[in-house]
């Protein structure tokens, strides 16, 4: 365990790197942290591939029927 | 639909979305009977796709006024090209549960609300109640009495997914719906009525916001 502990020199070196990085404008800019969260999934789905209406409806039925119907008596 | 989006757009975010992400919506969110899982999951999907407000409003307003369940799922099943629980289902549910077919000729009712509680209760009323004929004569092949409600909601999901896909495909093809709200929820309706926008603030109820149908739901 002792071999994994940081020496004083190692600790100070690491702290200096962090402090130096923090001084960089690009890193200290917190705009991204407070930006308005994205409301949709990223990526543009183009060209659009039409959804198969019937296949989706069938699977919706199957998912609900298989997953929940046994627990619902009305 | 998540599965289709993942298949149609490999490498997109949809590829990593768990396909059961919206299963919590069943029974109005974990059986709390709040918002129905149809408009709930559908609205989430539309939001993530970046759909315009008209599309979102159209979907929910359609749900409010539509007669559920349609016989679409049964007609599809009766056509002979679909056996519920077939290979398309992948790992969903169990084989015994997946093989319950849609029942034809179910009573129908307009939800007049997005709430599961109102939606299901109105349908149950139309069906003669739990002790009525529709429930009590439910064939064992359709889950018996205990399966009558599930039959209705499964078919409602079929209807909602079909409508949602159509709206999305139309929108992507350049056609937008009107997104018209129920008249009672408009400025010409309750929003600007003497009740909610009265000239005498001392006697008028406070202004309200919202898009839900007002009458024949919470307000009679």
Tens digits of per-residue pLDDT, B46-98?
999 999 999 999 999 999 999 999 999 999 999 988 888 754 444 444 454 45
Q: Is the peptide bond before B43 cis (omega within 30 degrees of 0)?
A: no
pLDDT at A1: 43
CB contact under 8 A, B84 and A65: yes
How many residues in total does chain B contain? 220
DSSP string of A7-43?
Answer: PHHHHHHHHHHHHHHHHSHHHH--HHHHSPPPSS-SS
- Coil/strand/helix, residue A50: coil
- Tell me how crowded residue B109 is: count the other CB atoms within 10 A of its CB: 21
CB contact under 8 A, A74 and B120: yes
Q: How far is A29 from chain B (nearest CA, A)?
A: 27
**What is each CA distance from A45 to B9, B10, B83, in whole angstroms?**
7, 10, 31
The residues, ordered by sequence, that sit 6+ positions from B39 with a Cβ below 8 Å of its Cβ are B59, B60, B63, B114, B160
Task: List the beta bridge partners of residue B35.
Answer: B115
Top mean-pLDDT range of A45-49, A52-56, B91-95, B137-141: A52-56
ipTM above 0.85, yes or no: yes
Query: Which candidate from A41, A64, A65 shows the least CB-CB separation from B13?
Result: A41
| pLDDT tens string B106-115 | 999 999 999 9
CB contact under 8 A, B84 and A72: no
pTM of the full structure: 0.82
């Amino acid at each position: 365990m002792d071999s994994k502990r940081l020496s004083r020199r190692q600790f100070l070196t690491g702290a200096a790197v962090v402090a130096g990085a923090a001084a960089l404008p690009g890193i200290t800019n917190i705009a991204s942290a407070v930006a308005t969260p994205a409301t949709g999934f990223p990526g543009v789905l183009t060209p659009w591939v039409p959804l198969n209406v019937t296949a989706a409806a069938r699977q919706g039925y199957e998912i609900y029927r298989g997953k929940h119907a046994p627990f619902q008596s009305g | 639909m998540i599965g289709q989006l993942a298949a149609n757009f490999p490498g997109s975010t949809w590829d990593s979305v768990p396909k059961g992400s919206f299963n919590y919506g069943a029974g109005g969110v974990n059986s709390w009977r709040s918002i129905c899982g149809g408009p709930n999951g559908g609205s989430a999907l539309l939001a993530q796709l970046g759909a315009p407000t008209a599309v979102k409003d159209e979907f929910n307003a359609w749900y409010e006024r539509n007669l559920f369940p349609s016989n679409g799922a049964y007609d599809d099943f009766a056509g002979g090209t679909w056996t519920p629980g077939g290979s398309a289902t992948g790992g969903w549910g169990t084989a015994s549960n997946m093989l319950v077919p849609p029942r034809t000729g179910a009573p129908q009712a307009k939800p007049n609300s997005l709430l599961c509680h109102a939606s299901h209760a109105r349908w149950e009323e139309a069906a003669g109640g739990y002790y009525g004929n529709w429930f009590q004569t439910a064939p064992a092949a359709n889950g018996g009495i205990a399966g009558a409600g599930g039959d209705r909601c499964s078919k409602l999901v079929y209807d909602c997914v079909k409508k949602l896909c159509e709206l999305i495909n139309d929108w992507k093809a350049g056609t937008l719906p009107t997104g018209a709200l129920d008249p009672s929820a408009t400025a010409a309706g309750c929003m600007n009525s003497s009740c909610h926008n009265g000239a005498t603030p001392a006697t008028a109820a406070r202004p309200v916001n919202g898009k839900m149908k007002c009458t024949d739901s919470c307000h009679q």
